C-alpha cells in the first residue's frame, strides 16, 4: 500500500524555460514563494545554463537571491557543467541537477555532445559538488521515445541511469521528454532499469502530450517509485523536443493522489489560488476552475 509520495516541482525551471515571452524576475520569485507556501518541499528554481541557449532563465542568480526560503524546503538548480555548478553554489542552491539522455541524437541536439562525452563532462561537476557536500540529482531524457530516433531501448535507459548513480547522483529522474510514453513502454523501461538499480533511487518525470501521464505514474507506483516531477499549471516543453507539450500538472497530480488517499502534504486549494493569482496574471495559466 502507498501511504505517501514526494512531488518535485519543476515549473519555475522546466516549466518556464520554453516560454517565448520574457517573464519578469519578480514574477518568478513570486511563483517560487507561492509554491513553497502551498507545501512543495522540493522546487527546481532555475537553471545556470548559457543565456544564449535559454534566455528565459538568464536571471537565475537574481531569482535565487529574491526568494523567501523555508528551512524545510530544498531549492535546486539545473547545471550543464562546472561553470554552472559554481554559479549555482554561489547563488545558494541547496542541490544541483545534471541532465543526460538515453538517445544519442537527442544528446547531440540538446547538449551538443554524445552520451559518453556528457558523462565525461559531468564527472568533475559531481566531484566538485561532493567536495562541497552538495547533493546532485540526475535526469535522463527520452526514456521511452525520442523525437528524432523514435522508440528508445529500455537497456539504454538502464545503462545511463546506472552510470549517473555510480558517479554520485543520489536520485535519477526518468523523463518521458516528448510525452509519447504508454503504460506498456513505461513498464518495459522500468523493468530494465529496476533490474540493476533500486526504486528508491528513481523518480518519474512525465510530459502529458499524449494524455497518459497519470497512467504512467500509476505504473511507477506499482514498481515502487515514490517521487514524481510535476509542473504547476502543466507548464513546460523542451526546445529540442518538437511537439512536446507541458509536464503533467502539479495540481492535477495532487488531486489524483488525494482521490487515492495517498498523502502529498501539498495544499491543493493553495495551488488553485497560485494558478489564478500568480500564473493567471502572467497569462500562463488556463482555466483554473
Active site residues: 238
| Residues 135, 100 contacting (CB under 8 angstroms) | no
| Full 3-state SS string of 61-107 | HHHHHHCCCCCCCEEEEECCCHHHHHHHHHHCCCEEEEEEECCHHHH
| Residues 39, 4 contacting (CB under 8 angstroms) | no
Task: Say how far apart CA 37 and CA 268 lie, in whole Å.
Answer: 11
| Full 3-state SS string of the chain | CCCECEEEECHHHHHCCCCCCCCCHHHHHHHHHHHHHCCCCEEEEEECCCCCCCHHHCCHHHHHHHCCCCCCCEEEEECCCHHHHHHHHHHCCCEEEEEEECCHHHHHHHHCCCHHHHHHHHHHHHHHHHHCCCCEEEEEECCCEECCCEECCHHHHHHHHHHHHHHCCCEEEEEECCCCCCHHHHHHHHHHHHCCCCHHHEEEEEECCCCCHHHHHHHHHHCCCCEEEEEHHHCCCCCCCCCCCCECEHHHHHHHHHHCCCECCCCHHHHHHHHHHHHHHHCCCCCCC
Amino acid at each position: 500500500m502507498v501511504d505517501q509520495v514526494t512531488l518535485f516541482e519543476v515549473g519555475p525551471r522546466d516549466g518556464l524555460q520554453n516560454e517565448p515571452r520574457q517573464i519578469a524576475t519578480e514574477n518568478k520569485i513570486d511563483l517560487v514563494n507561492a509554491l513553497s507556501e502551498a507545501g512543495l518541499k522540493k522546487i527546481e528554481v532555475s537553471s545556470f545554463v548559457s543565456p544564449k541557449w535559454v534566455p528565459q532563465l538568464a536571471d537565475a542568480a537574481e531569482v535565487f537571491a529574491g526568494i523567501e526560503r523555508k528551512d524545510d524546503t530544498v531549492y535546486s538548480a539545473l547545471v550543464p557543467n562546472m561553470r554552472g555548478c559554481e554559479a549555482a553554489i554561489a547563488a545558494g542552491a541547496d542541490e544541483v541537477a545534471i541532465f543526460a539522455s538515453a538517445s544519442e541524437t537527442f544528446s547531440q541536439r540538446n547538449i551538443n555532445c554524445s552520451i559518453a562525452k556528457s558523462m565525461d563532462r559531468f564527472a568533475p561537476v559531481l566531484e566538485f559538488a561532493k567536495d562541497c557536500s552538495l547533493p546532485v540529482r540526475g535526469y535522463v531524457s527520452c526514456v521511452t521515445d525520442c523525437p528524432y530516433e523514435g522508440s528508445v531501448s529500455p537497456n539504454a535507459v538502464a545503462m545511463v541511469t546506472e552510470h549517473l548513480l555510480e558517479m554520485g547522483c543520489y536520485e535519477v529522474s526518468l523523463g518521458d521528454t516528448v510525452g509519447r510514453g504508454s503504460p506498456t513502454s513505461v513498464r518495459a523501461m522500468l523493468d530494465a532499469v529496476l533490474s540493476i538499480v533500486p526504486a528508491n533511487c528513481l523518480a518519474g518525470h512525465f510530459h502529458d502530450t499524449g494524455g497518459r501521464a497519470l497512467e504512467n505514474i500509476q505504473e511507477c507506483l506499482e514498481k515502487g517509485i515514490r517521487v514524481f516531477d510535476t509542473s504547476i499549471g502543466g507548464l513546460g516543453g523542451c526546445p529540442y523536443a518538437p511537439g512536446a507539450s507541458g509536464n503533467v500538472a502539479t495540481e492535477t497530480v495532487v488531486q489524483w493522489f488525494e482521490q487515492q488517499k495517498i498523502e502529498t502534504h501539498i495544499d491543493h486549494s493553495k495551488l488553485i489560488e497560485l494558478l489564478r493569482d500568480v500564473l493567471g496574471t502572467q497569462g500562463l495559466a488556463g482555466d483554473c476552475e
